[in-house]
A and B are shown apart, each in its own frame.
Chain A
Amino acid sequence: MDSRTPAPHANDYKADIKPVWCPGCGHYSVLAALTRALAALALPRHQVAVVSGIGCSSRMPAYTSVYGFHSVHGRALAVATGLKLARPDLTVIVAGGDGDGFSIGGNHFLHACRRNVDLTYIVMDNEVYGMTKGQASPTTACDWTGSKLTPEGTGVTPIDPIQLALACGANYVARGFSGDPNTLAHMIADGVRHPGFSLIQALSPCVTFRPEQKDWKKMVHAAKHEPVSDPRRAGHLALEDDAFTTGVFLTGTRPAFPTAETVRSVMKTVAELEQGFVT
């Protein structure tokens, strides 16, 4: 319990850079949660990489002091998958928003869940595109009329990321809230420790384009259920949910990709491989 060497603190994982996020934005608290999780895990900074796409929340890597990749819109999961498969020794965390992850990057999300590479994906969900001035995202309610692009509302059913992740095979599925960064930090740390693909949906209000989300702190409520390991049971919980339940839905038992069976060990040299071409 006692430690003579100084334990890392959250601040050790923060970069000395001023975020562009609006003051009041939920993402600051997600950053706090992420850095607290890294501190609790006591991971050396150089052994961690945060990969992101494009959007407000995808600015995350620059605000941490670990390795980072700020890639292009929608492709963070694919970049992170390549990094983790090439460098399984690293802890790879993916950060992004609802538009980046479920719209332009939707296909990668499906396949990251089913492939089950050992990644932790934090989606800061504010149901809006912030960096392009507030358009509807895949998680936006169908009757939200706040955008000039869809002045009558989208008329399209929103996605529930929890249900989607469970259906596609993610191995750890949780919903947290930026207003409770310590619980969120706990989820992130558990997600990192859990083998395979972890989705943490972090409800994170946008104070600029969705000021009504300030009320989320009154709407969220902690799950009454314990985490389950059977995705079908977790699916039932998610289907009956009002989308404001925070907690861990699934702690699955699938082995991470690549599984032990797919790792081959017969080693050859390039020169030996070339022999296959000799007539």
Chain B
Amino acid sequence: MSVESLSLALVGSGGAGVMTVGQMLLDAAAGAGWYGMMRRSSGPQIRGGEAAALVDLATRSVEAPKDEMNVLLAIDWQNTTRFMDELPLTPDSIIIADPSQGPVPELILARGARVIELPIKDLAAGVVNGRANMVALGAAAAIAGLPMAGILSVVNLTLGRKGGEAQAAAATCLALGAKAAEEWGLGRELATPAHAEASVRWNISGNEAAGLGAVRGGVRFCAAYPITPATEVLEWLAGKLPKLGGTLVQAEDELASIAMCIGASYGGVPSITATSGPGLALMTELMGLSVSSETPVVVVNVMRGGPSTGIPTKAEQTDLNIAIHGLHGDAPHIVLGPTSVGDCVRTTQWAVHLAERLQTLAIVLSDQALGQTRAVIDRPDDSAWQAERLIQREAGTDKFKRYAATPSGVSAMSIPGTPGLEYVAEGLEHSESGLPSAGAADHAKQLDKRLRKLDNHNFGPEWADVEGEGEVAVLTWGSCTGPARAAVARLAAEGRKARLVAVRLLSPARPSDFAQALAGVRKLLVVELSHGAQFYRYLRSQYDLPGEVTVFNRPGPLSIRTTEIYDRLVALGV
């Protein structure tokens, strides 16, 4: 007997090493040809806290975590109930518990899952330099049916620095865990993976994917200020930009990071920074400078719970308002939302292209659930989007008008170092040549110009992922797309039709594309992770929503699950 997918939670505390185990499990599964994703959940402690690695493995690409947790493997029970909401155990689930760590908590037992005892600590203690987490990994790998050779090679890669003794100890622990699990005969081994032999799969996090999309688009400068859960975008770029001839600098704060990006971009180098809500709030004045001075810049904002410091380690889709409306003055700019971990590559690359092409600010609204989730996916398709800035390279006979009110609204920039085209990039309202001006005519002309750039641009079919058919549609964005897509797929497998529209281009709005995508829809389900229903309210302000509208919104920190969307679509008559 085998399964198409398997979800496992590995929990433990105080340096038990469950995150490492989860990562190794995912890497080994990826190496053996499966797909998967791993999410992280942890307590507030920097070290020694309770942690949960939430791993989904499958024979096909994983859009969203499973609705039920098949296996809970606990190295200990310290404060594990903190994760209760993230551990959807059912009577079909299996709990693997170490009897030396005390009884299974009542709250967990109440879910009715079968409990199997595994003396993890004792088994590890019997091995010189043995580690409990390796016993757990052996057991988990055996349950999933992962070949031991693959696990060993992943473990050896990690332990390589520690030498042969550590590797031998790990191998013994893995074997002990695996042997026990094989004896249980749980029948949860994964079936043969579904992908074609020739296909290339990646093991990537959303934050890494955003970094990759940036450099694919041509970004060669990043100024960085660390913030959870966006830091990994910056760290990935820090390792890669110098190899591409680019530069990354750690800034003193978010005001500096975006200001540095604007300075570098003025110098002709496509630039990016990444942040999360509090940082985005700090950046808003300078984002306005990008718009006013028409200096391209990209900000990847990996959303977390808010307001204020909020919930740094959890996702929420609540920076939509500030991203779209946060700038003072009338400041047309671009807001995009990636619809999956892999789409972080494509959407960030598109953001670079749009910012450069339209000489303005582009904000990419990712979130913790996309950014810090590691997924094994098919390699995202190549996109042609590049940083193509309209540049004047030689002086003409007339004085250079940096802010010429052209029909398209886009006016040629000159790059410092070009003789005869000197100009001042200006945050004050200005004339076409860039001189400060408080005149009504200049203000209107420049406002029109900056809006026209966006109005006239053909954003194309990428504005949204439009999938499926039917008179009931689910309308969503960002990290809610995965579960929405999975819900629609489940309905389709049952022969029931529903439509999915996941908006990638959040701003500017595309009323005619929107109307076309939702033509014929009688019932609409709007899904978002926001207590204040920011997405729904934004849609109301920009679009005519067809038919009967139901809003399914709730705050983070818990991501929306496939089944919650599925149930609502069924209730709407799909």
Contact = CB atoms under 8 A, between A and B. Distances in A.
B423 A72 contact: no
Contact of B202 (A66, A79, A80, A279): A279
B418 interface: yes
A264 to B, nearest CB: 4
A89 B427 CA distance: 25
Given A72-B427, A78-B260, A111-B252, A83 B267 contact: yes
Contacts, number: 178
A62 B271 contact: no
Contact of B262 (A61, A65, A71, A267): A71
Nearest to A78: B259
A45 interface: yes
Nearest to A262: B242
A83 B31 CA distance: 43
Interface string A267-279: 1111001100111
A44 interface: yes
B263 A68 contact: no
A79 B221 CA distance: 13
A167 to B, nearest CB: 16
Contact of B416 (A49, A54, A71): A49
B247 A85 contact: yes
B201 interface: yes
Interface string B414-429: 0011111111111110
Contacts of B252: 78, 107-108, 110-111
18 contacts: A46-B421, A46-B422, A66-B422, A68-B422, A69-B293, A81-B256, A82-B260, A82-B265, A83-B267, A86-B263, A86-B265, A89-B417, A264-B242, A268-B243, A269-B244, A270-B215, A274-B202, A277-B204
A1 interface: no
Interface in A225-279: 258, 263-264, 266-270, 273-274, 277-279
A279 B416 contact: no
A73 B22 CA distance: 47
A78 B249 CA distance: 11
Interface string B354-379: 00000000000000000000001001
B263 A79 contact: yes
A267 B264 contact: no
A70 B267 contact: no
B200 interface: yes
B245 A82 contact: no
B200 A83 contact: no
A29 B247 CA distance: 37
B63 interface: no
* Secondary structure call for the A interface: mixed
A36 interface: no
B243 A266 contact: yes
Given A75-B256, A82-B221, A69 B249 contact: no
Contacts of A263: 242
Interface residues of A, number: 49
A46 B376 contact: no
B256 A67 contact: no
Given A78-B251, A108-B252, A72 B243 contact: no
A62 B247 contact: no
Interface size class of B (residues with CB under 8 A): 35 or more
A152 B223 CA distance: 42
Contact of B212 (A90, A268, A274): A274
Contact of B30 (A17, A45, A279): A279
Contacts of B30: 279
Nearest to B32: A279
Given A82-B221, A84-B263, 13 more contacts: A62-B435, A66-B422, A70-B427, A71-B425, A75-B256, A81-B263, A82-B271, A86-B263, A86-B265, A266-B243, A267-B243, A278-B203, A279-B27
A51 interface: yes
Contact of A270 (B244, B262, B263): B244
Contacts of B203: 277-279
B50 interface: no
Contact of B264 (A46, A86, A270, A274): A86
A85 B264 contact: yes
A47 interface: yes
A61 B271 contact: no
A105 to B, nearest CB: 9
A85 B289 contact: no
A46 B424 contact: no
B545 interface: no
Contacts of A75: 255-256, 259, 286, 289
B263 A51 contact: yes
B420 A81 contact: no
Contacts of A87: 264, 267-269, 416-417
Contact of A86 (B221, B257, B285): B221
A82 B269 CA distance: 10
Q: Which of A44, A78, A111, A279 has the most CB of B within 10 A?
A: A279
